[in-house]
């Protein structure tokens, strides 16, 4: 016991001498990373599907990729870690999937890529912070060293969430900007004698260069209607994907119009007028906020030069008189 204790004290003293106060912590962290790297090949070795083994034993194995089957599925490299990269709770999984869809990422592996990005960037930030502490010789006190290690890791971990949030805001702004124009075009198509399905296809084709996010939602609606899905369900799914109050109100109007047998053209005309008024009100609101936002910059960049011009000569004259 005394031999082990003396050996431990010598190792601890050596680490403190080489890396500073955080030497033992850095050694433990390096050992943990080494163990993770050793265990990684075992985790990456995916167990073969028993059904596939049975097919191979019977000689019924066919190349699905060569036959064009199962194209556009999940990322195979990330699919083997699906149990680690996907939430186990169904509500959390649904919420994450809805968030990715609203951000414009609709692939099956989007949730896995999102969680993998959080994990990779977080670990990368921790490694960069640790490397900086080791190179700089400890970074001062132990508290500063811990902060230098943790801050890059936290920034890397939350960077994908920030990116997805910004993507969602950008798509919402684009949909809000293009929705009144889409309604006007849909109203023209319906009044020209086209059905609602044909009007949606026409609108998706015409607004795609200007508002690709809104055009993508209309294209999904048109494809689902062509596939025979219930029209009410299709429209409600669109409202859930978009998550914008104006779009949900419009969908409710269309569903009520179809339920009670009223004219779709009249409903579109009333709602299109309301959307145009809302767009004007939003523009006026931004214009009214602009002077308030410019006040700070006006005080910072206009007032100091003005004070220099007005008071500068007087201060210079007073300083000259005092010098004499």
Digit-coded pLDDT (tens) for 52-110? 555 566 555 444 444 443 444 455 566 666 666 677 777 888 888 888 888 888 887 88
The rounded distance, in Å, linking the Cα atoms of 210 and 190 is: 21
Q: With 70 as the cut, is the pLDDT of residue 23 above it?
A: no
pLDDT digits (tens, 9 = 90+) for 163-205: 999 999 998 888 888 888 888 888 888 888 888 888 888 888 8
Q: Residue 68 has which token pair?
A: 């064009």
pLDDT digits (tens, 9 = 90+) for 129-141: 888 877 776 556 6
Half-sphere exposure of 2 (CA within 13 A, CB side): 0
Question: To 5 degrees, how large is the angle CA 216–CA 101–CA 226?
Answer: 45
On whether the CB atoms of residues 207 and 68 are closer than 8 A, the answer is no
pLDDT at 1: 59
- Give the residue extent of every domain in the chain: 21-48+74-169, 170-286
pLDDT digits (tens, 9 = 90+) for 219-252: 988 888 888 888 888 888 888 888 888 888 888 8
On whether the CB atoms of residues 22 and 133 are closer than 8 A, the answer is yes
E strand residue ranges, 45-141: none
**Pick the residue with more confidence: 69 or 323?**
323
Rounded to two decimals, the pTM is 0.65
What contacts 253, CB < 8 A, 6 or more positions away? Answer: 267, 271
């Amino acid at each position: 016991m005394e031999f082990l204790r003396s050996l431990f004290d010598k190792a601890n003293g050596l680490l403190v001498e080489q890396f500073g106060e955080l030497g033992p912590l850095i050694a433990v962290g390096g050992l943990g990373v080494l163990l993770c790297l050793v265990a990684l090949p075992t985790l990456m070795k995916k167990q073969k599907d028993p059904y596939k083994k049975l097919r191979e034993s019977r000689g019924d194995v066919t190349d699905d990729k060569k036959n064009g089957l199962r194209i556009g599925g999940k990322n195979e490299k990330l699919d083997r870690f699906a149990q680690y990269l996907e939430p186990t709770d169904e509500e959390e999984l649904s919420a994450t999937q809805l968030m990715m869809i609203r951000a414009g990422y609709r692939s099956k592996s989007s949730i896995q890529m999102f969680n993998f990005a959080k994990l990779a960037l977080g670990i990368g930030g921790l490694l960069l912070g640790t490397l900086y502490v080791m190179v700089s010789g400890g970074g001062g006190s132990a508290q500063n060293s811990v902060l230098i290690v943790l801050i890059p890791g936290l920034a890397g971990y939350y960077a994908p969430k920030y990116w997805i949030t910004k993507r969602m805001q950008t798509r919402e702004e684009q949909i809000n900007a293009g929705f009144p124009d889409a309604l006007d075009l849909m109203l023209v198509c319906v009044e020209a004698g086209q059905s609602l399905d044909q009007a949606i296809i026409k609108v998706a084709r015409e607004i795609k260069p200007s508002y690709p996010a809104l055009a993508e939602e209309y294209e999904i609606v048109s494809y689902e209607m062509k596939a025979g899905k219930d029209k009410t369900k299709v429209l409600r799914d669109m409202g859930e994907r978009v998550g914008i109050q104006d779009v949900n109100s419009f969908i409710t109007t269309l569903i009520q119009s179809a339920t009670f047998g009223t004219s779709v053209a009249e409903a579109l005309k009333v709602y299109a007028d309301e959307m145009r008024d809302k767009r004007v009100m939003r523009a006026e609101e931004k214009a009214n906020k602009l002077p308030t936002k410019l006040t700070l910059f006006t005080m910072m960049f206009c007032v100091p030069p003005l004070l220099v011009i007005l008071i500068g000569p007087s201060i210079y004259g007073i300083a000259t008189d005092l010098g004499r």
